A = this chain, B = another copy of it.
Amino acid sequence: MSENQAYDIIVVGASAAGLRAAARARRLLSNAKILVIDEDTYISYAACGMPYYISGDIENADKLRETAYGIVRDPEYFRTAKGLEVIIDTRVERIDRDARKIYCHSIKTGEDSEYSYDKLVLAMGASPVMLPMVPKDSKRITTLKTLHDAIDLRKSLERGEIKKVGIVGGGFIGCELAESFGALWGVDVVLIEAASHILSNILDTEMASAVEEYIKSEGVKLYTDCPLQEITESEEGVTIKTSQGAFEVDRAVIAVGVRPNGKLAEECGLKLGKWGGIVVDDKMATSDPNIFAAGDCVEMKHMISGKPLQLPLGSLANRQGRVVGSNLGGGDERFRPVVGSAAAKIFDMNVASTGLTEVAARNGGFDAGCVWGTLTDKPDYYPESQNVFLKLVYDKGSGRLLGLQGYSKGEVVKRVDVFAALLKHNGHLEDLLDMEFAYAPPYAPAVDPLFSLGAMARNAMLEGIDQVRPDTPLGDSIGVDVRQPYEVESNQLSELDCQNIPLEELREKCEELCKDRPLLAICEKGVRSSESVRILKEKGFTDVKYLGGGMHMKPAG
């Protein structure tokens, strides 16, 4: 065992959170001796970029480890550019909090070593969850945890060894990988998800179902409600057994979520939270005032639900790292509760969300109201205009904003980001009506989708102009299809009694409609049908609503 060395600050984990904390502390404490230790050989790489390296969009794995000016971020770089000592290939095996010491083991040399610290930062990240039925150390059944995993998959693709892949888990990584394998390499993709729908952390069922249809249309064999029963490896490949049958593939990737690497913290008696993340206060200090923690291994608090959550995002890890570094350097920075923004590009579909889903809002005890909108990201007349499909969740009593989720081949992420800024400031529906967007036809319609959504919700809350959910079975109502005849012809609504009276004729012809049954106004996007509800109410129809989001958001089938 090498002799004990003393450091002012030791950071465990040389990824976003740890290195940011170390570099920030170093900047504020010019004389501090700072050590960063990581068990991997590759450090400070952009793990979020791995799907794009696998897909071939990024040529070389080194790209994920380089600065903008082409220097690889290895220990030498951190020594010279950042003034940090970085040790790689070394596992921290134990923390002695009383002695303020850590005990390490070199994976390469087998040597043991110990270091003493004044302050310790834990930034060990998270690891993919491994299902119990998955064989260990399989070559063909893997997760996507490290850059080594990504390089291995990419090499297999380049060698043509993967004709068919099974992806277990329809979260962000699973969906992104479906594109990575499918789009450039032409690999047959089977994607299975145990839950009733994909991306369930950020989308409610009816929103996810549109994304699912889209993914299928891109050639992915997607199965939801499809838990894994057994997965086995043979010489020829992998057999994935599920409740919906068995799939033979060449490789399988397990992507069913990640779990915080909290073991080291737990073993030394630090407090872990419900989901296994290290519990920290708003200065990112653990239950031991000499130990801070940051990144995917900590538990965060949701600003709206107030509940603890895990949110493994490089963006948050970076922010937390800065907070830790500032506080180590004598500052007083806080990491506030999060609203949980997330996004993914899946083939050409942008999917994004912030705040609570409807399900999460109800679970959190909110009396959640929802409106759905099919809107456009740019003016209708602008050549590149695309539909944006949004769902707004708000508190019915107060009008407080709770969440936004959406998908679009166009610009949906901007709306989610603006909405997140409002959530952070405890925004209400009227704030959506007060937003200013930098307006010009290439960027937004004069009436932005967020304004329209806010207006729809207020119209429901204050004026009783109510939507029905896009996935409501329409059986009992009589439909009033207020579209133009040419639209009706190209996309017929067959499942309910339906009469076509274009909006422009409704004032004159509405007497033709039956007043004894509930009426449901329907149009392409939900705008004309909303107008129709007002007209029909004026004319004495009392039980009349409109289909939220219009035909565009109605799930197929």
Contacts and interface: CB of A to CB of B under 8 A. Distances in A.
A175 to B, nearest CB: 11
B80 A507 contact: yes
Nearest to A342: B438
B507 A439 contact: no
A397 interface: no
A434 B420 CA distance: 11
A352 B438 contact: yes
B353 A438 contact: yes
Contact of A439 (B315, B424, B443, B455): B315
A440 interface: yes
Interface stretch (A140-148, A159-167, A373-381): A373-381
A336 to B, nearest CB: 6
A70 interface: yes
A420 B414 CA distance: 12
Nearest to A525: B68
B77 A443 contact: no
A487 B67 CA distance: 13
Interface residues of A, number: 98
A344 interface: yes
A495 B361 CA distance: 60
Contacts of A27: 531, 534
A383 to B, nearest CB: 5
A391 interface: no
Contacts of A484: 69-71
A422 B420 contact: no
Contact of A340 (B353, B436, B508): B436
Interface in A295-334: 313-319, 322, 333
Nearest to A459: B27
A179 B171 CA distance: 43
Contacts of A344: 440
Interface in A182-227: none
A354 interface: yes
Contacts of A424: 431, 434-436
A433 B314 contact: no
A45 to B, nearest CB: 9
A83 B439 CA distance: 29
Contacts of A420: 418, 435-438
Task: Kindly report how many copies of this chain are found in the complex they form together.
Answer: 2
Interface string A529-550: 0010011001000000000000
Q: Classify the interface of chain A: helix, strand, loop or mixed.
A: mixed
A104 interface: no
Interface in A397-445: 413-414, 416-418, 420-422, 424-425, 427, 431, 433-444
Contact of A48 (B80, B322, B342, B446): B446
For A52, A64, A436, A447, which residue has the most chain B Cβ atoms within 10 angstroms? A436
B381 A504 contact: no
Contacts of A513: none
A52 B382 contact: yes
A318 B433 CA distance: 10
A134 interface: no
A117 interface: no
Interface in A9-48: 16, 27-28, 30, 46, 48
A345 B440 contact: yes
A438 B340 CA distance: 8
Contact of A381 (B49, B416, B436, B442): B49
Contacts of A340: 436
Contacts of A481: none
B446 A381 contact: no
A58 interface: yes
B455 A382 contact: no
Given A66-B381, A318-B447, A418-B418, 18 more contacts: A27-B534, A28-B463, A48-B379, A49-B441, A67-B380, A68-B527, A69-B487, A80-B503, A80-B507, A313-B446, A315-B446, A333-B433, A341-B438, A345-B442, A416-B438, A421-B422, A421-B425, A424-B434
Interface of A: 16, 27-28, 30, 46, 48-49, 52, 57-58, 63-64, 66-71, 77, 80-83, 172, 313-319, 322, 333, 336, 338-345, 350, 352-354, 376, 379-383, 413-414, 416-418, 420-422, 424-425, 427, 431, 433-444, 446-448, 451, 455, 463, 483-484, 487, 503-505, 507-508, 524-525, 527-528, 531, 534-535, 538
20 contacts: A30-B538, A49-B381, A52-B383, A58-B383, A68-B376, A68-B380, A77-B504, A80-B504, A83-B535, A314-B439, A318-B451, A322-B455, A341-B437, A354-B436, A413-B438, A414-B418, A416-B438, A417-B438, A418-B418, A418-B421
